[in-house]
Amino acid sequence: MPNVQVHSLFTDFDIDLFKGGKHYRLYEKLGSHLVEVDGVAGTYFAVWAPSAKSVSVVGNFNSWDSDDHKLNVRWDSSGIWEGFIPNIGKGEVYKYKIQSNNNNIWTEKADPFARYCEHPPNTASIIWTAEHDWKDDAWMGYRKDKNGLDKPYSVYEVHLGSWKKNAENKFLTYKEFAIDLVNYVKEMGYTHVEFMPVMEYPYDPSWGYQLTGYFAPTSRFGSPEEFKFLVDAFHQNDIGVILDWVPSHFPEDAHGLGFFDGSNLYEHPDRRKGYHTDWKSLIFNYGRNEVRAFLISNAIFWLDQFHVDGLRVDAVASMLYLDYSREDGEWEPNMYGNNENLEAMSFIRELNEAVYSSFEGVQTIAEESTAFSGVSKSVEHGGLGFGMKWMMGWMHDTLQFFQKEPIYRKHHQNDLTFSMTYAFTEHFMLPFSHDEVVYGKKSLVYRMPGDEWQRFANLRLLFGYMFTHPGTKLMFMGCEFGQTEEWNFEQSLDWHLLQYDGHKGIQDFIKDLNHLYKSAPALYEKQFSPEGFQWIDYGDHENSVLTYVRKGHDEKNDLIIACNFTPVPRENYRIGNPKKGKLTEVLNSDDAKYGGGGNLNNKIKSSTKASHGHNKSIEITIPPLGIVILK
């Protein structure tokens, strides 16, 4: 009996879909699969390597000898090599040894569809099945109601390797995260958690953004079924899970996708389209059908197999523009003579159509930093089809404003008000992400001016302004308690800071902001509609005060917000009152329990005196460097 038996999981229809780039569940066919053939248990292998002269499976089971287990090439010009190897099963490590028709080049590659990988620095794939008894039926049943664009969406961004370490300063496991992290996110009131890339990656300083195992949760923290256990635990606590996903580039590591079968198989062969000089990585060939099917299958895989609720798509701008980070002469215009990558745009639209047509209640979120139009507009209306887009301009302008000494802020108030001129052109998510607390930018609290009291007051005001500005929210771990040091991927967050009142006050304020966001329909029902926002006054530059209204479907839920961006309290400050009724203060960032000075509005004076175009008005105290929210 031959070492490799002829066997296939592919039908002719599968092959047609694959060649046409329309097979969106390739993980069910390609890769390694435990099967039984003629009563004998073993593993079926299938790999796409159209430029190969021969492909062998090598591992400990054959002493890594490429002569022992040669796969069979299919007859249909699909470029797929496959076969059944009896008597090897779960837990075996393996790679593909590929001899290329291209000058007999040899490569030894990890399986692009491997479900589990060796712990770095080891690089082999592992035959695996991730059995898990899901207990999240309730969440999956009502997810579309929890995860909609008219629902609260407050995201806690996490790098699993550095959120917290154990007593020996080692990584926590997926199962430990299922207790510690789940309980913390729930206690803090976030609606979602977002993981920086958890797909297998070889190099820790890449933070996970240089992937080699697209279908395998990193083995740093445990097994694939243990990662499912973690997702399940979040769902059982009504918390959605978003994965950072990287279809924009991949590393040149010898065992990875690059030059896979001795040819530019996954990457674009033209270095002007196929290589990132910034990240020294390769760019997918978005015009190749099989590569599109690989990437869309990967997105579908995490939503299908791991019950993930959303994908935050990394570096979309780098995909959209042919001249991204390139000088003149380093890129070639498209057929229309401009700089848009038409193949990448087509791929993105197909990706989003496939995701939204396959799953109810999921979201795709674009990290896109330019003014590209229609990122979150539906494909049928000419957009790219994402559910949301990061509002990078808001983040940049807001932090630039807050870094200024308060005495100068009156000259720059337009940095804050400008966002409202374009706030509803996309479905925007407001991000304070990991990128804002690294590379010398300082932590958020240390970007605030003034003495220690003013730094913390500024930070509370910044977060209060963020939560009352239209759009969904994202906050990187550590920001929620005023981490003082820049983020360091090699060490735990500085949890010891919570023994100090200022840091504990920030954390308590974020808890209350999250609770308010989830309980106040005015903050989320129309968060992507101009009907959900109304200025009272954006022109009081001299006092550095902004006042505005947030609205939901029912006007009785409307909120009035007043922000004071100076350390001078504004007492008896008159605000036009847009509607009748008694007003009460529902949140004040200067509350003593947050570390503030206690300038609260226990009684709000109402008046028939007209102000700001309204027949009635109120007088309140807006505390120094404070935000007041009234209902």
Is residue 307 pLDDT above 70, yes or no? yes
Rounded mean pLDDT, 254-271: 97
Q: Is residue 5 part of a domain?
A: no
The answer to whether residues 92 and 185 belong to one domain is no
Same domain, 373 and 456: no
User: What was the pLDDT predicted at 167?
Assistant: 82
Digit-coded pLDDT (tens) for 311-352: 999 999 999 999 999 999 899 999 999 999 999 999 999 999
Segment 187-222, tens digit of pLDDT = 999 999 999 999 999 999 999 999 999 999 999 999
- The answer to whether 362 and 356 are in contact (CB under 8 A) is yes
Reported as a pLDDT band with limits 50, 70 and 90, residue 538 is: very high
Closest CA to 313 of 266, 249, 252: 249
Greater confidence, 606 or 388?
388
Q: CB–CB of 532/523 below 8 Å?
A: no
Q: What is the arithmetic mean of pLDDT over 597-618?
A: 92
Question: How confident is the model at residue 103, as a pLDDT?
Answer: 86
- Is 434 inside a domain boundary? no
605, pLDDT greater than 90: no
Query: How far, in Å, CA of 171 to CA of 177, rounded?
Result: 10
Whether 404 and 297 share a structural domain: no
- In this prediction, residues 161-166 reach a mean pLDDT of 95
Residue 98 has pLDDT above 70, yes or no: yes
Does the annotation count 367 as an active-site position? yes
The verdict on residue 113 lying in a domain is yes
Determine the pLDDT at residue 1.
60
Are residues 343 and 355 both part of a single domain?
yes
What pLDDT is stored for residue 581 in this prediction?
78
What pTM was estimated for this model as a whole?
0.97
At 579, is the pLDDT very low, low, confident or very high (cuts 50, 70, 90)? Answer: confident
Interval 105-126: pLDDT, tens: 999 999 999 999 999 999 999 9
pLDDT average, residue stretch 459-486:
98
Residue 102, beta-bridge partner list: none
Q: What is the DSSP string of 550-572?
A: E--SSGGG-EEEEEE-SSS-EEE
The CATH code of the domain that includes 298 is: 3.20.20.80
Domain range holding 409?
Answer: 391-429+443-477+497-630
Catalytic residue among 14, 267, 314, 508: 314
CATH of the domain at 64: 2.60.40.10
Question: Pick the catalytic residue: 157, 367, 585, 591?
Answer: 367
Q: What span, in angstroms and rounded, lies between the C-alpha atoms of 310 and 251? A: 24
pLDDT at 2: 78
426 three-state secondary structure = coil
Q: How confident is the model at residue 169, as a pLDDT? A: 84
